[in-house]
Amino acid sequence: MNRSRNEYQVRSRQQTTSTIKVRLILAAVIILFSVIGYMSNTEVNPITGRAQRVGGISFDQERALGLQAAREMARQFNGFSRDELATQKVKLVGETLVERLNNRLKNENRQLPYQFQFHLLADDRTVNAFALPGGQVFITEGLYYQLNHPGQLYGILGHEMGHVLERHSAQRMAQGQMWGGISSAGGMITGDVSGQQMAKMVTDLVGLSYSRQQELEADRWAIELMILGGYDPRHMTDVLELLDRLSGGGHPPEFLSTHPRPKNRQEYIRKVVEEVFPNGKPQGLL
């Protein structure tokens, strides 16, 4: 009887070892395909001319995702603003930026792949601005009413347009697909579904913030678009000073949960402005 029990225990250990080996092999294959799929899937951005890893996500898919999410995002921020004058101002500034950008691209024999739409949200307590994939751009009343110069609105909307033009959301979704594959592999190794779900939650949280490089890319677009709109890009530093001031209280602006803190960005903007205007600000900018 003891012999039978020992034989059973040996077989059980062998089966467990074999199962773990199979899980490890499958997990390794999933990780390998996830990483290779991410690293090898590149596309050239027609606006910037740079190769990007966007996971095969098309412009049409970006637009569809943005449109699907727009109303839900509005619901989370108390719906669309009922301030008709402010709403029209946001749309007018946004449409002016798009028109000026389109004209520049046409002169370079390029075409804008997005149909931007600009929205003012009714939430007057939340200080935030953000863009969805495909060109849906939002600013809350809580941020809009803090602005004291038209150039600041040009800078904020131009910055959010920059995230769209650089396809930052598509890049983050592609990264999310890769990390999703890796977290699935982790769950397969442990056999723990809850652990797999926790890993996914962590990777989702990592994706909430733009990288420093992405933020600076959007800042450069803000500068370029403000100049196209006829405004001094140094107004963007005023926006960052405002956000930095608000972050000193007990409830930092929601904007800072998805955007890095402003201090280093202010210095970057000053450097870019000096590069663009080495002889000082030209006449005519407001």
* Predicted pLDDT of residue 200: 42
Q: Is residue 15 part of a domain?
A: no
Q: Is residue 282 part of a domain?
A: no
Q: Is residue 7 part of a domain?
A: no
More confident of the two residues 260 and 219: 219
Q: Is residue 218 part of a domain?
A: yes
* Predicted pLDDT of residue 156: 96
Query: The whole model's pTM is what?
Result: 0.74
Q: Is residue 20 part of a domain?
A: no
Domain total for the chain? 1
Q: Is residue 217 part of a domain?
A: yes
Q: Is residue 152 part of a domain?
A: yes
Q: 80-96 pLDDT, tens per residue?
A: 999 999 999 999 999 99
Bridge partners for 121 per DSSP:
80, 140
Q: Is residue 29 part of a domain?
A: no
Q: 172-210 pLDDT, tens per residue?
A: 777 666 545 445 544 444 454 444 443 343 334 333 467
State which residues form the domain around 135.
Answer: 51-170+209-276
Per-residue b or e along 227-253, where b marks 16 or more CB atoms closer than 10 Å to that residue's CB:
bbbebbbbbbbbbbebbbebbeeeeeb
